[in-house]
Structure 1
Amino acid sequence: MSEQRFTLPFRSAQGPIGLALAALIAGGWLGIHAYAMFVFELSWSNLPFAILMAAVQCWLSVGVFIVCHDAMHGSLMPGRGRINAAIATVLLFLYAGFAWRTLRDAHHTHHRLAGHKGDPDFDEDNPSSFLRWYWTFFKRYFGWQSLVFVHTVVGIYWLVLGIPMVQIVLLYGAPALLSSLQLFYFGTYRPHHHADAKPFADKHNARTDGFSTLTSLLTCFHFGYHLEHHHRPDVPWWALPAARRAGVVEQSYETGTVRKEIAA
């Protein structure tokens, strides 16, 4: 798709900005995990802090996946395909034993077939049911490799290192599972589910949340600005608010890009 009239802010520094933000997100995520597993000692007195730490870890887990999503589109480090792939390969594996190429190919299929048969992110049998769709989503992506990886990590932490199971569940398992729910709800279900009151605008079968910039960041690292993302997948997550303010979707309509794509 052409870039219409939107110019990416700090375009000349897109790679360094993306890399710096990725380092902050992934560094915080790994740092909290290491502290929670190897330093922190869970007790009733520090349970509120543990819950806060788990909530932050859940949010950072979402951020890690969004960084990998940018890598899938080459917008993390433009023109540096190997660096994009290397960063996402490591982070996706650490996240839940995911395979980079499998998720990358599935995501590009999603963009080609958004909301249609064959879209791996869409449940054509339950297009309005959150729970049934999430179960389909979960089964498609959390395969045997992820289960083996997670069980291996938990086994080492519990049986070898002696970390209490309740601490593993609260500070490792819960943030991981809740982040998958957060990603699914704000990044897949809300933008793509069928609702009679809010019909889709075009062939992308996606909607954009009307959240403020801060709320958008806290919910899903701006992935709720989803129609903008489908129109401009080259725009990194941190620039999606600017793309929304610039009206990239409306620009597509004005230039006839969407109509041409639908006709094709």
Structure 2
Amino acid sequence: MADEQVEGAVKAKKHLGQHFLKDETIAQKIADTLSLKGYHHVVEIGPGMGVLTKYLLQRELDLVAMDLDSESIVYLNHSFPLEHSDLLKNTDRLQVIEADFLKYDLTRLYGEEQFAITGNFPYNISSQIVFKMLEMRKQIPEFSGMFQKEVAQRICEKPGSKTYGILSVLVQAFYEAEYLFTVPPTVFDPPPKVDSGVLRLIRKADIQLPCDERLFFNVVKTAFNQRRKTLRNSLKTFNLSDNLKEDTIFDQRPEQLSVADFVTLTQKIANDPV
């Protein structure tokens, strides 16, 4: 009976990409993906009606639940604490914020402290969430959550695959990426038209690339924007010297290059005398 009340409490909004998770076992599995090693602050994006929130609060952490949906915020501030008062004896453990994660300045919450990100991410902004995480990678040791399956697989994909792309290279330059498990549409309300996938990213011990990082990002994005072409053709906008373009690395297509290869390519371009 309680589940029926929760399911009816907030209406999923299509324009926000909302699909509310209703499977308790999967919620617990996502909450358990975080190691909490070296941090205790966690941001949950898109908490909806708090199915994942509840299991996160069973762990020793301080949680910020951030949602753009004002209806969800009202529910989390009023109904959720009543249902889970045993988890919220210390009300400082949960802070509910109505905000757009993509626009919110997270240093207002944590300054320069470390924090993790998790959630059942809205599909329509999931890639943008990853790019914001990359911008703040020095403060984010772990990141986990649910994406559309093909996006989660793409992030974790290795070189040589047709799905290996910009997100794969940029994420794996700084994080160890692991695809954990697939989730069927039936565990959501309303059910999406596709499968979902849960992944975990753990920041590498050394995230300083031995090249110009801004140039690295630019090279990766430019190369994959014309992924069917060889690098010699896709990177024409860099006005490379004829001598450099003779290098055999330019015979390859972007999906053939590992992160280390892209670092080498960036170094070559940075040292090109032209």
Give your verdict on TM over 0.5: no
| Greater strand content | 2
Structure with higher Rg: it is 2
| Greater helix content | 1
Q: Which has the higher contact order (CA 8 A, sep 6+)?
A: 1
* TM-score under structure 2 length normalisation: 0.24
* TM-score under structure 1 length normalisation: 0.25
